[in-house]
């Protein structure tokens, strides 16, 4: 490649980069430093695992506005690191309140934590209003020296 073509190709798009295949402009990033999500319709899925052990770092009300699931799995059992995050659980309520329909949502926590219990008790009326059910497991899976709560989901 001639030098002038190489120079043009490497400088033709200053200040822009690709993040997950989407062009972004660092100067226009949101305050959180993440890239802006392109406008589009919501995505409907049966099951969604809330990213990063339900940490508030990657999940906000926009996630729940755009990713509409029948079931959300909430993991996280590390209060010192803010997992699960109360802010993420509240974001579910905020995001779902903007769906415009009252589809049932089931929240499946993988651990019984103080944060989850407090959130459940303090927002129970709002959960009922939004048709959100929190699934508590009465079943236990035992594997070698370890046991943990389990639930069964049928589609």
Domain ranges of the chain: 43-149
Confidence band (pLDDT; 50, 70, 90) for 105? very high
Residue by residue, DSSP assigns 29-92 as --TTSPPPPPP---EEEEEEEPHHHH-TTT--HHHHHHEEEEEEEE---BGGGTBS-HHHHHHH
Report the chain's mean pLDDT, rounded to a whole number: 74
**pLDDT per residue over 125-155, tens digit each?**
999 999 999 987 656 777 888 876 666 666 5
* pLDDT over 60 at 44, yes or no: yes
């Amino acid at each position: 490649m001639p030098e002038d073509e190489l120079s043009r190709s490497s400088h033709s798009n200053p200040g822009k980069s690709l993040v997950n295949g989407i062009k972004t402009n660092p100067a226009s990033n949101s305050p959180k430093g993440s890239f802006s999500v392109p406008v589009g319709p919501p995505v409907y899925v049966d099951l969604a695992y809330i990213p990063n052990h339900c940490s508030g770092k990657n999940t906000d009300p926009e996630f729940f506005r755009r990713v509409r699931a029948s079931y959300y799995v909430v993991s996280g059992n590390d209060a010192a690191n803010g997992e699960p995050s109360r802010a993420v659980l509240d974001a579910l309520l905020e995001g779902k309140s903007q769906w415009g329909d009252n589809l049932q949502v089931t929240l499946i926590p993988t651990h019984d934590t103080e944060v989850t219990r407090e959130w459940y008790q303090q927002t129970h009326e709002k959960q009922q209003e939004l048709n959100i059910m929190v699934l508590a497991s009465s079943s236990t899976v035992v594997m070698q020296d370890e046991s943990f709560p389990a639930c069964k989901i049928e589609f």
